[in-house]
Chain A
Amino acid sequence: MDGSRACETLRNKLLFHKESLFLSDIPRPTPGTGEMLLRTAHQLTVENDGIADTATLARGILRADVIREICLHLEPYQADEKPITGETVIAKDLTIDSLAIMDMVMELEDRFDVSIPMSVIAEIHTVDQLADTIQDLRARG
């Protein structure tokens, strides 16, 4: 009986990942525009008052660091010789399953001290998008 329960758990976790029903109020990055978004975010913050600017600087992280950390987690799932880049579609181009993706996200959350809601995870497809989300949440403090 619980074998089937296990299967259900899986199926439902998978479904959750693919078909999240609700949207978060956190704006989502657009695919392929990671660097652009980062610059935009910085400009916005600079235009803000001094307090916000200080807060952003205190929690600021280098995009390269985020990407490097993500790649470290994804390397074991590399399907072939193709390198992992910002455009790599995590669930498609690699051999990682959706549960492992969610577990990897938990590790990244703790590494960068942010929480990524499940509905947001469901909308992330590429390495760039994941990096953008982490940077965006970091900046919000």
Chain B
Amino acid sequence: MGLFDRHAGLLEAYRDVRTTGIDPFQIRMGRVLSPTQAIINGKPTLLVGTNNYFGLTFDPSCMEAAIEAIRAEGTGTTGSRIANGSYTEHVALEQEIAQFYGKKHCMVFTTGYQANLGVISTLADQGDFLLIDADSHASIYDACKMTRAEVVRFKHNDPSSLEARLRRLGDKQGGDKPGNRVVVLEGIYSMLGDSAPLKEFVEVCKKYGAYVLIDEAHSLGALGANGRGLCEEAGVLDDCHFIVGTFSKTLGAIGGYCVSDDPDFDILRVTVRAYMFTASPPPSIVASVRQALRIVKARPELRKQLWDNVATLYDGLARQGFKLGPEHGPVVGVHLPDRETAIGFWRAMLDAGIYVNVAVPPATPNGVSLLRCSLCAVHTSEQLEHMVEVMTGIGRQMGVLPPPKLRAVSGR
């Protein structure tokens, strides 16, 4: 048996995906011009699939901060925090994120993936129980592979499904399963843009003495009066024991973090291997993230712009008859009937100069085929209205939407 034989099924599916002549998973950005525009295949293209929710990747103040940091401290740290020490700026960033949430402790990771991987796999160990949403991100599933805790999935965004599983574990104090219960949730789910019913989840967790860890990767900046995410929006910030987030979406860089009020939180610095055995974030990243966080705090209008844009795209597509994710969100998932239609639709949009993501089974929840659009605060309404028009045209050509109703013209 060859090394790659076990991937035969996946290879076949992947071959199908590439039949349009362009591989959606290997798209090459010839040149990225701004948060919303790039040259792809030699053509100016509107970007509506980059998770760049506030458009801060080209913010002049963030760029300057990064450049200045490189001049002052070089391009990289070349080692981990425990082996090579922390830069003053690492510590400053951690303090600023902790303050942002009003929590006592913060740990910064080199990627958001590592934050989930390291924290979740370390918090729950043998004898403990990890309860995860069925639609959890790969980083959460991978964390589950690394722990000896018992892992149980509950139905996506369904507090009663979580409750049934916590109830089955029995009484934490007197029962035969005394281990810790750690429940892992996400603020906004990355495929369909739907939010967790967090208040209800937190009630269930309280009832059964479970810890709550929430990943705010897609909700940082987007939700809450101060942009702290769903935990703020739902008014349960104090009840979320661990909040994980990323620097690679709203904050326009790369990295991750976890905040908590737990007095012993810092022990994770010498127990989480994804933190201990990898190089720390470089000075430029730390500097641009600190500036981006200042912008999130100082410019709430970006959040309003983002949601206005969400409404323009979501409502525009809904009016034309597209089947969308269940609610407004910075991610708008457009349902298409099958894999071939989704890939053809994606390709037609790229030809028309609009880049979105395509997500097809078995990569998607419930086997749906999706075009995944992510909005940016600096998209213009004209750009998005144009996008709705283009998608409507393609939808009709492909038979996804009914043909336009012919209006009777009354002569005078």
B141, A9: Cβ atoms closer than 8 Å: yes
Q: A2-B51, A2-B374, A5-B138 are in contact. Are A10 and B362 (CB under 8 A)?
A: yes
Q: A9-B363, A97-B362 are in contact. Are A1 and B51 (CB under 8 A)?
A: yes
Residues in chain A near residue B279, CB distance under 8 A = none
- 1/0 per residue, CB under 8 A from B, across A93-107: the answer is 000011110110010
Interface size of A by Cβ–Cβ distance < 8 Å?
37
A24, B150: Cβ atoms closer than 8 Å: yes
B25, A7: Cβ atoms closer than 8 Å: yes
B154, A106: Cβ atoms closer than 8 Å: yes
Residues in chain A near residue B141, CB distance under 8 A = 9, 12-13, 16
A16, B145: Cβ atoms closer than 8 Å: yes
Closest Cβ neighbor of B218 among chain A residues: A2
B362, A6: Cβ atoms closer than 8 Å: no
CB distance from B219 to the nearest CB of A (A): 15
Task: Name the residue in B10, B148, B153, B374 with the highest tally of chain A Cβ atoms < 10 Å from its Cβ.
Answer: B153
Residues in chain B near residue A62, CB distance under 8 A = none
Closest Cβ neighbor of B357 among chain A residues: A3
- 1/0 per residue, CB under 8 A from A, across B37-68: the answer is 00000000000011100000000000000000
Question: Does A38 lie at the interface of the complex (its beta carbon under 8 Å from any beta carbon of B)?
Answer: no
- 1/0 per residue, CB under 8 A from A, across B157-170: the answer is 00001001100110
Question: Does A114 lie at the interface of the complex (its beta carbon under 8 Å from any beta carbon of B)?
Answer: yes
Residues in chain B near residue A2, CB distance under 8 A = 49, 51, 190-191, 331, 357, 359, 372, 374
A119, B151: Cβ atoms closer than 8 Å: yes
Question: Does A117 lie at the interface of the complex (its beta carbon under 8 Å from any beta carbon of B)?
Answer: yes
B145, A6: Cβ atoms closer than 8 Å: no
Residues in chain B near residue A89, CB distance under 8 A = none
A8, B138: Cβ atoms closer than 8 Å: yes
Residues in chain B near residue A85, CB distance under 8 A = none
Closest Cβ neighbor of B190 among chain A residues: A2
A3, B134: Cβ atoms closer than 8 Å: no
A9, B138: Cβ atoms closer than 8 Å: yes
A106, B161: Cβ atoms closer than 8 Å: yes
State in angstroms the CA–CA spacing of A118 and B140 once bound together.
13
Question: Does A30 lie at the interface of the complex (its beta carbon under 8 Å from any beta carbon of B)?
Answer: no
Question: Does A49 lie at the interface of the complex (its beta carbon under 8 Å from any beta carbon of B)?
Answer: no
Q: Would you call the interface of chain A mostly helix, strand, loop, or mixed?
A: helix
Closest Cβ neighbor of B135 among chain A residues: A9
Q: How large is the interface on B (under 10, 10 to 19, 20 to 34, 35 or more residues)?
A: 35 or more
B138, A12: Cβ atoms closer than 8 Å: yes
State in angstroms the CA–CA spacing of A110 and B24 once bound together.
38
State in angstroms the CA–CA spacing of A42 and B341 once bound together.
53
Residues in chain B near residue A115, CB distance under 8 A = 152, 165, 168-169
State in angstroms the CA–CA spacing of A38 and B165 once bound together.
24
Question: Does B241 lie at the interface of the complex (its beta carbon under 8 Å from any beta carbon of A)?
Answer: no
A13, B138: Cβ atoms closer than 8 Å: yes
Question: Does A20 lie at the interface of the complex (its beta carbon under 8 Å from any beta carbon of B)?
Answer: yes
Q: A16-B141, A115-B168, A118-B144 are in contact. Are A3 and B372 (CB under 8 A)?
A: yes
Residues in chain A near residue B150, CB distance under 8 A = 24, 117, 119
Q: A16-B145, A100-B367, A114-B168 are in contact. Are A3 and B358 (CB under 8 A)?
A: yes
State in angstroms the CA–CA spacing of A10 and B364 once bound together.
7
Closest Cβ neighbor of B146 among chain A residues: A21
A10, B363: Cβ atoms closer than 8 Å: yes
* A-contacting residues, B347-400, CB 8 Å: 357-359, 361-364, 366-367, 372, 374
State in angstroms the CA–CA spacing of A90 and B10 once bound together.
18
Question: Does B172 lie at the interface of the complex (its beta carbon under 8 Å from any beta carbon of A)?
Answer: no
State in angstroms the CA–CA spacing of A18 and B364 once bound together.
18
Q: A6-B364, A9-B141, A13-B141 are in contact. Are A113 and B148 (CB under 8 A)?
A: no
State in angstroms the CA–CA spacing of A100 and B134 once bound together.
11
12 A-B pairs (CB sep. < 8 Å): A2-B190, A3-B372, A6-B359, A8-B138, A10-B362, A10-B364, A13-B138, A20-B145, A22-B148, A117-B151, A118-B152, A118-B153
8 additional A-B pairs beyond A6-B364, A18-B6, beta carbons within 8 Å, are: A2-B374, A3-B24, A8-B138, A102-B134, A106-B155, A109-B165, A110-B161, A115-B169
A contacts, CB < 8 Å to B: 1-16, 18, 20-22, 24, 97-100, 102-103, 106, 109-110, 113-119
Top 6 closest pairs, chain A to chain B, by CB: A3-B357, A10-B363, A9-B138, A12-B138, A6-B363, A6-B359
